[in-house]
Amino acid sequence: MTMQSVQLDALDARLVEMLAVEPRIGVLELSRRLVVARGTVQARLDKLIARGAIKSFGPEVIPEAIGFGVMSFVTLEISQRYGHTAVAAHLADIPEVLEAHTITGSGDVLCRIVARSNADLQRVIDQIVGYEGIVRAHTIIALAELIHYRTLPLVKAASLA
Amino acid sequence: MTMQSVQLDALDARLVEMLAVEPRIGVLELSRRLVVARGTVQARLDKLIARGAIKSFGPEVIPEAIGFGVMSFVTLEISQRYGHTAVAAHLADIPEVLEAHTITGSGDVLCRIVARSNADLQRVIDQIVGYEGIVRAHTIIALAELIHYRTLPLVKAASLA
DNA sequence: GTACGAGTTGCGCAGACTGCTCAGCGTAAA
DNA sequence: TTTACGCTGAGCAGTCTGCGCAACTCGTAC
């Protein structure tokens, strides 16, 4: 589970790129387009996955498209008596909490939360702060998405080196 | 490109769930496990994609595993003279900017940024604030990931209704 | 200079899946 | 009753996957 060889070469990058653009493409077609042997593509992919560089090929669900149109970032201040672990467990129980990180700065935890509406967001936040380990929450609502989550540019940049 | 039928039923949810757990499973195997006809699975998937609920099946790249071990959230204050559009374009040119949103509150834009190290983060931030439309940046570094980005619980919750 | 390991290549095969189409059928709305 | 829609079960041709193998190249260690 180590991840030493943290370097991508040009082939890896092009591989990931093509997969990102056309996920259903298949190993064989990839090998044709990249002009390498099928086994090579297979081996590279296996290695990328084993190394952890590619976590999965799961479906990317858009919360907005399934009724959760409100997105927000909530900063939590947690009581020192309670560890992050307990708070994390509490947050994990709430489906609307999409991710959570401990952070530097004035807050302790930053999490991304979605809701069906602003009113619904209130409900979710109430649920979050209902836990005694959480002292208070600071909510920021995302108005518009300027850049949708992406990693392709990063992959390209990483392979240039 | 409308997205009216914003409701998932139990079958949709189980479909997405199984795909998330075992992405390489294939339509045929899905139909077997869900005990429905292959055509049904195919139709449901097509609809989910058409509706925008599932954006893609692209590879999920883990920045940390390709050398970008530092993650941060940066709040930007932008000059009123410059529109979001111009700023968005500038941010889009920087590979390390993984996503960006306009937000409520004291800042104007919140973006997620990765870097190879803390020193490297400084370089990226300098690059961001180098644009004249951006007045100042407020950086928060993510220390640990309590909950990795997920949507499965949300999908399940959405279908319960 | 030689041997070794890793990575790549090209090939082949059996098994399995995909994309597409069609007809039958039950349910719900018009 | 008629119409529309979704699910079902089946079939077919084309294609891909998983697997194994022998050969070749290249960099490194001996």
- For residue B21, give the 3-state DSSP assignment: helix
Q: What's the fold here for domain B63-142?
A: Alpha-Beta Plaits (3.30.70)
Per-residue model confidence (pLDDT) at position A161: 61
Enter the tokens of residue B53.
Answer: 């609920």
Q: How far apart are CA B156 and CA B148, in angstroms?
A: 17
φ and ψ at B148, to 5 degrees?
Answer: -75, 145
Over the stretch A40-57, which tens digit does the pLDDT of each residue have?
Answer: 999 999 999 999 999 989
Length of chain B: 161
- How buried is A4 (Cβ within 10 angstroms: 0-12 exposed, 13-18 middle, 19+ buried)? exposed
**Average confidence (pLDDT) over B49-68:** 93
Q: Which residues contact B89 (CB under 8 A, 6 or more apart)?
A: none
Mutate to test the interface with B, among A11, A30, A61 (most CBs of B within 10 A): A61
**B76: closest CA of chain A, how far (Å):** 13
Given an 8 Å threshold on Cβ–Cβ distance, is B60 in contact with A59?
no
pLDDT digits (tens, 9 = 90+) for A76-105: 999 988 889 999 999 999 999 999 999 999
- As a rounded value in angstroms, the CA-to-C1' distance for B130 and C11 is 55
Q: What is the DSSP string of B99-159?
A: EEEEESSS-SEEEEEEESSHHHHHHHHHHHHTSTTEEEEEEEEEEEEEE----HHHHHHHH
- Per domain, the residue ranges of chain B are 10-59, 63-142
Pick the residue of B54, B147, B149 with the most A CBs within 10 A to test the interface with A by mutation.
B147
Bridge partners (DSSP) of residue A75 are A110, A138
* CA–CA gap between residue A29 and residue A34 (Å, rounded): 9
Kindly determine whether the C-beta of residue A4 is less than 7 Å away from any atom of nucleic acid strand C.
Answer: no
Q: How far is A100 from chain B (nearest CA, A)?
A: 5
What are A135-155's pLDDT values in tens digits? 999 999 999 999 999 999 999
Its pTM stands at 0.92
pLDDT, tens digit, 9 for 90 and up, residues A109-130: 999 999 999 999 999 999 999 9
**CB atoms inside a 10 Å sphere around CB A60:** 18
> Which residue among B84, B87, B142 sits closest to A101, beta carbon to beta carbon?
B142
Which residue type, as a one-letter code, is found at position B112? R
| Interchain proximity B110–A23, CB inside 8 Å | no
Asked if residue B2 has pLDDT above 80, the reply is no
Residues in chain A: 161
pLDDT band at A4; cut points 50, 70, 90 = very low
CATH of A10-59, one of 3.50.50.60, 1.10.10.10, 2.40.50.140, 1.10.3720.10: 1.10.10.10
The three-state (H, E, C) secondary structure of B52-113, written as one string? CCECCCCCCECHHHHCCCEEEEEEEEECCCCCHHHHHHHHHCCCCEEEEEEECCCCCEEEEE
Give the SS3 label for residue A49.
Answer: helix
pLDDT of A24 strictly over 50:
yes
Closest Cβ–Cβ partner in B98, B112, B158 for A66: B158
Q: Is B141 in Cβ contact with A103 (below 8 Å)?
A: yes
Say whether B101 and A146 touch across the interface (CB within 8 A): yes
Strand C closer than 7 A to residue A39 Cβ: yes
Integer distance in angstroms from CA B63 to C1' C24?
Answer: 52
List chain A residues with CB under 8 Å of B62: 52-55
Of the residues B48, B154, B156, the best mutation for testing chain A's interface (the one with the most A CB atoms within 10 Å of its CB) is B154
Percent of chain B's residues with pLDDT above 70:
96
List chain A residues with CB under 8 Å of B6.
65-67
> Looking at residue A83, what is its pLDDT?
87
Phi-psi region of A26 (alpha: psi -120 to 50; beta: other; left: phi over 0): left
